[in-house]
Amino acid sequence: MTAQPPAADRRGDDGLRGRDDPGGREFRGWTALHGGVTPSALVRLWLRGVQRLATAGPLARIPPDVLSALGVVVAAGAVAAASAGGRWPLAAAGLVVLVGVLDGLDGAVALHTGRARPLGAVVDAVADRAGDLLMAATLASLGAPAAWCVAAAALVMLHEYLRARAGAAGMSGVGAVTVAERPTRLALVAVACLGAGALPAGTPLTGWDWATVSAVAWVVVGTAGFVHLCLGVARTTPQRFPGGLPGTPQDPAAQDPAQDPAQVRPR
């Protein structure tokens, strides 16, 4: 929700302009909100499903910011369910999947109703980071060592802080789409919840704790993703600030007027 693209075409077809058109409004809008990233075939399939949900009457009337906040509430519910033990982690897995749905639904509703705005992007980002922390807490509730959970959460914050700062410095786009993006993190937590609820004795053959395996995998994937993002940021961030810094030789206002024809006055 970082831009104000046009609302979806409402001339039928569930609010989409061509379900099979990869250049349709829903894909162009998603690309605009994600720094110019072109959606893959799998993402396009996901977008179609989310857009159909977004066009449903009751959901379309919910403000996107409320959907973002609801994702945080659902993530907190996953922590509570994971802490209950027994078969409750299975319910936690369903809540984690719902978090992912809400994560895409807030932006889809914003696009469909024409309510996408910069402040909404801020709300969405804050809600996502709060949800990430709660996902790490879910793994801890399932029995993963606290050190691994803290490391996983720290990598997420570092990953997103680097992207945000590079964007503020003039980086175009998102730097890189890494293996450690949010869908991967949600999938790891959902697997841990499913495993803990269905096979509490541990992973097949090894008997390793599901939550620990997922936490370690999160850290490994997060480290690889952070390295990938660093390379992408170094490649796409401009070498100079646009227009130069005030008081530096690159600042147009600090240049010698004699070198600027616009500043030369007739004698």
Q: Which of helix, strand or coil describes residue 49?
A: helix
User: What is the rounded distance in angstroms from the CA atom of residue 54 to the CA atom of residue 192?
Assistant: 29
Whether 47 and 187 have beta carbons less than 8 Å apart is answered as no
Secondary structure, 3-state, 202-238: CCCCCCCCHHHHHHHHHHHHHHHHHHHHHHHHHHHCC
Token pair for residue 99? 């978090």
Known active-site residue 128: yes
Token pair for residue 191? 């697997």
Helical residues (DSSP H) of 84-145, grouped into ranges: 88-113, 118-141
Catalytic residue among 106, 128, 132, 209: 128
For residues 216-233, one letter each, b for 16 or more C-beta atoms within 10 angstroms of the residue's C-beta and e for the rest, the string is bbbbebbeebbebbbebb
Whether 84 and 193 have beta carbons less than 8 Å apart is answered as no
Catalytic residues: 128
